[in-house]
Structure 1
Amino acid sequence: MTSLFLSVMPIVILIWMMTKKNGLPSHIALPITALMVGLLQLFYFNTDFTLISANIIAGILSAITPISIVAGAILLNRMIYLSGSEDIIRRWLEGISKNQVAQLMIIGWAFAFMIEGASGFGTPAAIAAPILVGLGFNPLKVAMLALVMNSVPVSFGAVGTPTWFGFSNLGLDDATLLETGKITALIHFVAAFIIPPMALRFIVSWGEIRKNYLFVLISTLSCTVPYFLLAQWNYEFPALVGGAIGLIMSVVVARFGLGLATAEQKVAKTAVAGEAAALGDAVSMNMTSMSSQATTSGTSKQSQPDNQAVSTGQILKAMTPTILLIAILIVTRIKQLGIKSMLTDSTELFTVSFGPLGDFSLSKALILKLSHILGTDVTWAYKTLYVPALIPFLLVVLISIPLFKLQGNIVKQMFSETASRIKMPFIALVGALIMVKLMMTGGENSPIMTTGQAFSDLMGTSWQYVGAYLGALGAFFSGSATVSNLTFGAIQQTIALNVGLPQTTILALQSVGGAMGNMVCINNIIAVSTILGIANKEGYIIKRTVIPMIAYGIVAAIMSTVV
């Protein structure tokens, strides 16, 4: 009983630190929790100090993978913003239809779906919400809609990072990870039939939703059908490609008015054009910073007047980086083309001994590997060319610089802003990864195994009915589906193995839970609220977004019995 109490205590304290009044940010709370776990391992579990140190080193190095992806995504986002492409995309999306439901689905659902697939980490809600407010929608209601809409694609967001990296510590082979992704996509696919209407209800009446439901359904399926199909053979770009296809289909269908009420709903403007443009500028400057910082950087943007018509050529040029991103991802992820095997070739070029630190090796595909860290079995590796940081993010940015004729000061600003934004996330991820690795240290007697055993003894096979909510809890306090999967994936796996449930199903529930937790995630709520100028409404938002989150969990529980 003491072992269980001490195993659970760090997680409970972490939740308390981040959810209490004036809670600590993740970049402080997670390192504190990692320190607690390390002390418990050393003084209670009597784990060898060298093994603890090796896992700390591996945890620090492991943070390079997600932070490099985040950096690449932010850099691409800054380039799109500073080149003026974001202005063009925003004005194009605004002009497609004046039907409120169409606008909400195109921008709040399909466009955000695609952005989640490319960058994730709270970016979709932060980008889509100001565009909708610029169209005249109520900021508080838009914040809730954006949070709820940004759930279905999350498990495969940021080029699948929550799935392939979130479960990277579990020792899963590729076939098991793919099967987990298939089940995850199926649950999301079914949940998507209820989530968009529930999100729309924050802004428009049920009557308006019913009158335009055919369009809602077409827009939803245009994203989720390719999303589900792609997940049958890949877990990296279902959200990215599904969102891109869904956006194109939604725009085309809206242009023809298919499924939309015949009488277009005029949108009452609540802000002048200049205010709407400034709000659009603020979103991309920093999704978690104050709008004053956004205004400062906004002076460098190559903007266009809002009332100027957007030509097809301008739209195509503005969308070129996104199109390139999707194309490169597809080409480098399809095994049959042979490029994937080149980017993941682990054939060693050379090995160098770093003494007590371990053995460093470099492969033909530039895979960095540190083995036998501090003389233990702990190993770290980084797939330089395959992790979607250099390819495609940095590559697309380098191609886009001459394409948009960006000046040197703009390029410098892109990189400096990216560097300033990754500092706090890097610290948070280091803390999370050290905590996870230490929680898993100790084999059968590790804190993770002890906690999993207790949950399995308590719930038995009934665990599948509540498993998704543990994932949601992880996203709630950490602000990330990836961190939720890193934190609770091992517990979920242990429970599945202990009670005889399919681990792929339980891990899929964890992944779905981490995605649906975005609806009530404190970090995301604060970010969107700050950008939209909403003050002291976090509790109000959570009380309302928790309802669709609970409904999501019920769908997940039902689906777990049929997959």
Structure 2
Amino acid sequence: MPLNLLTWLLAFSPVIVVLVLMLGLRWGGSKAGAMAWFVAVLVAFFFFGAGPRLIAYTQAKAILLSLDVLYIIWTALLLYHIADESGTVRMIGTMLPALTPDRTMQGLLLGWLFASFLQGMGGFGVPVAVSAPLLVGLGFSPIQAVLMSCIGHGWAVNFGSLATSFQTLLAVTNLPGTLLGPPSAALLGISALPCGLIVAFIGGGWEGVRRTFPAVLLLSVVMGLTQYGLVVARVWTLGATGAALVGLMVGFALTRLPVYRQTNGQSLTSWVDENGRRRSLPVAFSAYAILVVLAFGINLIEPLRAFLDRFQFTLQFPELRTALGWVTQAESGRKIDLLGHPGAVLLYSSLLAALIYRRAGYFRPGAWKRILTPVVRGAVNSSLGIVAMVGMAVIMSNTGMTNLLAEGLSRNFGAAFYPLVAPFLGALGAFITGSNNNSNVLFALLQMRTAELLKLSVPLILAAQTAGGSLGSIMAPAKVIVGCSTVGLGDNESVVMRPILFYGLLPVAGVALLTVLFLWLGVWS
């Protein structure tokens, strides 16, 4: 297919459909994704030479890729709602601000550290939905609460939710995590600093920033280095979780300093719930402790890892060729580790935690109905949207549409300027679709192909893509709507959108500058 304005627009048309439907008409991701998939199929069939056989095989590939991600989404939501039913989430959210009377520090504990921890464990809108009302309860305005909880966890999105977005990046590009992990962890680890400073500014103004800057700087360094170390150690599924957990522990320690010190003497070993029942903090945290132990054990104990790796599922796909001559070589589909997959680790943790909570008396009658109902409700729409978006992305890739887009971009943005564009493209995808995961599905192959054509570092450009998507997801209307709905701003999301776009673009710009700097230094070249 020759490259010209018409063919480039045809190749871009599925993405345009997503843009128009989600931004202009405010359709949900599942509906917009389905329509974009339909447009992709039509364009591929009528203009790019895709026959029924090719379309069928691309959708089989897409389903396999989707299962790799959906395995995590469903089990991550299950673990979160089990912990929520036990009172663990409320317990943590109530005890954190009791550590310090400093208002800005309270905002950082809940809007930055706790929200990042929730992103690491569950994600998918959970950090905003949980943190925002807790911040309002502390006296922050609803607008402040939504802004702080959205901005605060942006750096943790890529390696949060058991690295769902990163797993998608690996699945779509078919590149190893050892290659893409370090630059992604570096860009996002450094981004923890602006996220924390913005939360401090929203919560306490310039005075709050001045007073808490040493703490924010220290916490950013600690969390960034922890995440980088976990990713380099190939435990990227716990990258954000481990980093945020260490950040919380250091944050607890910082509240002992005179400037932030605890004044109310509340016990940190137990908690009395709204019904007067005392609950143990170690028992409440057992779900996350089990998850950490299992994830580390499965990833670091080689004999166990080797045993679990025996149970894999994949499919073989033949060579695919369009009528215009675009060839996709025969290949294996995405391998899914049935027993060692991050989704399996989440499932093991969920079941063990449920057993512990039940024996401790933390579950009330009807608990499983209250757990499973929101799991299904929250996961179904996400699942449909992911399947549709992945289907669209795979058919675009296997018919040469993505390559044509990349070729057009490479001709219009030279090697000197494209690194500045890459993270904003990732952010745009996340803003449109509501998730870094879908942004990687939409644009990862495009970014990879463009980097190859411009002879830029593929790992670094893909890291910029997923870092931009991670930070861009905090500005997504879907997340803003979730946050606003929990603090009484259900019909006034517009009052949040303008400031969140301003604040949210600052870390993305930082990633763009870091990408240029790393390329200039020859890092990950």
Q: TM-score, normalised by structure 1?
A: 0.83
Amino acid in the other structure paired with 2:488 = G
Change (3 A) 1:131 1:263: closer
Distance 1:415 1:92 in 2: 27
Instruction: For 1:397, give the aligned amino acid.
Output: S
Q: 1:426 to 1:373 in 2, by over 3 A?
A: farther
In the alignment, is residue 403 of structure 1 matched against residue 356 of structure 2?
A: yes
Residue of 311, 314, 320 corresponding to 1:369: 314
Matched, 1:433 2:378: no
Partner of 2:288: 322
Partner AA of 2:353 in structure 1: S
Aligned partner of 2:11 in structure 1 is 7
Q: Offset at 1:31?
A: 0.9
Question: Map of 1:408-427 to 2, 5 A cutoff?
Answer: 409-427=366-384
Which residue is 2:207 aligned to?
Answer: 207
SS in 2 for 1:155: coil
Deviation at 1:408, TM superposition (A): 6.8
User: Does structure 2 conserve the Cα–Cα contact (< 8 Å) formed by 1:152 and 1:188?
Assistant: yes
Worse-matched range after superposition: 104-113 or 508-517: 104-113
Maintained 8 Å contact 1:69/1:389: yes
Distance 2:186 2:336 in 1: 30
Contact 1:169 1:486 in 2 (8 A): yes
The alpha carbon displacement at 1:402 in A equals 2.7
Aligned pairs for 1:199-278 within 5 A: 199-234=199-234, 235-254=236-255, 256-257=256-257, 260=260
Say whether the 8 Å CA contact 1:190–1:555 is kept in structure 2. no
CA contact (8 A) 2:237 2:342 kept: no
Deviations 1:127-155 (A, max 9, x none): 22222112121111110111111111111
Q: Distance in 1 between matches of 2:508 and 2:30?
A: 28
1:163: how far off? 1.2
The sequence identity of aligned pairs, in percent, is 19
Asked if 1:343 corresponds to 2:308, the answer is yes
Q: Which residue of 1 aligns with 2:273?
A: 304
Give the Cα separation in 2 of the matches to 1:194 and 1:389.
Answer: 31
The 2-side partners of 1:24 and 1:418 are apart by 22
Q: Does the residue aligned with 1:63 lie in a helix, a strand or coil? A: helix
The 1:218–1:545 alpha-carbon spacing in structure 2 relative to 1, beyond 3 Å, is same
Residues 486 and 259 of structure 1, relative CA distance in 2, 3 Å threshold:
farther
Residue in structure 2 matched with residue 294 of structure 1 by the alignment: none
> How far off is 1:484 after superposition?
0.4
CA contact (8 A) 1:212 1:259 kept: no
Runs of 4+ in 1 over 4 A off after TM superposition: 262-265, 308-311, 373-376
Question: Aligned equivalents of 1:100 and 1:383: distance in 2?
Answer: 45
CA RMSD for the aligned pairs? Answer: 2.4
Instruction: Rate the CA distance shift 1:100–1:12 in 2: closer, same or farther, 3 A.
Output: same
Q: CA deviation at 1:96?
A: 1.4
User: What amino acid maps onto 2:173 in structure 1?
Assistant: L
Residue 69 of structure 2 contacts residue 167 of structure 2 at CA under 8 Å; is this kept in 1? no
Tell me the equivalent position of 2:425: 470
Residues 92 and 310, structure 1, Cα contact 8 Å, conserved in 2? no
Cα shift at 1:18 = 0.4
Matched, 1:459 2:413: yes
Residue of structure 1 equivalent to 2:125: 122
Does structure 1 conserve the Cα–Cα contact (< 8 Å) formed by 2:193 and 2:216? no
In the superposition, relative to structure 1, how do residues 369 and 190 fare at CA in structure 2: closer, same or farther (>3 Å)?
Answer: closer
Distance 2:331 2:133 in 1: 45
Give, in whole Å, the separation in 2 of the partners of 1:509 and 1:448: 18
- Give the counterpart letter for 1:213 in structure 2: F
Amino acid paired to 2:201: R
3-state DSSP of counterpart to 1:386: coil
For structure 1, which segment, 224-233 or 316-325, has the greater mean C-alpha deviation from structure 2 after superposition?
224-233
Contact 1:97–1:103 (8 Å) recurs in 2: yes
Query: 1:72, 1:258 → 2: CA distance?
Result: 42
| 1:534 aligns to 2:494 (yes or no) | no
Deviation at 1:225, TM superposition (A): 2.4
Give CA deviations for 1:220-263 in whole Å, capped at 9, x if unaligned: 33322211222223232211111111111111221x13553x79
TM-score for both structures, normalised by structure 2: 0.88
Q: Return the offset for 1:47.
A: 1.4
Q: 2:467 aligns with which of 484, 508, 512?
A: 512
* Structure 2 counterpart of 1:171: 174
Counterparts of 2:181 and 2:39 in 1: how far apart (Å)? 33
* Per-residue deviation, 1:199: 2.3
Q: Paired residue for 2:324?
A: none
Unaligned stretches of 5+ residues in structure 1: 266-301, 346-364
* TM-aligned CA distance change 1:421 to 1:211, over 3 Å: closer
Q: How far did 1:24 drift?
A: 0.9
Cα distance in structure 2, aligned partners of 1:152 and 1:542: 19
Preserved CA contact (<8 Å) 2:427 2:468: yes
Structure 2: how far apart are the matches of 1:492 and 1:71?
Answer: 29
Q: Kindly state the Cα deviation for residue 370 of structure 1 after the two structures are TM-superposed.
A: 2.7
| 1:48-67 to 2 correspondences below 5 Å | 48-67=51-70
Indicate the residue corresponding to 1:348 in structure 2. Answer: none
**Amino acid across the alignment from 1:192:** A
C-alpha separation in 2, matches of 1:217 and 1:249: 12
Partner amino acid for 2:370?
Answer: Q
- Equivalent residue for 1:109, pick from 101, 109, 112: 112
Q: Distance in 1 between matches of 2:504 and 2:468?
A: 9
The alpha-carbon deviation at position 68 of structure 1 amounts to 2.1
1:560 and 2:503 matched: no
Structure 2 CA distance for partners of 1:231 and 1:372, relative to 1, 3 Å: closer
In structure 1, what is the equivalent of residue 326 of structure 2?
A: none
Separation of aligned partners in 2, 1:144 and 1:495: 34
Q: Find the counterpart in structure 2 of residue 30 from structure 1.
A: 33
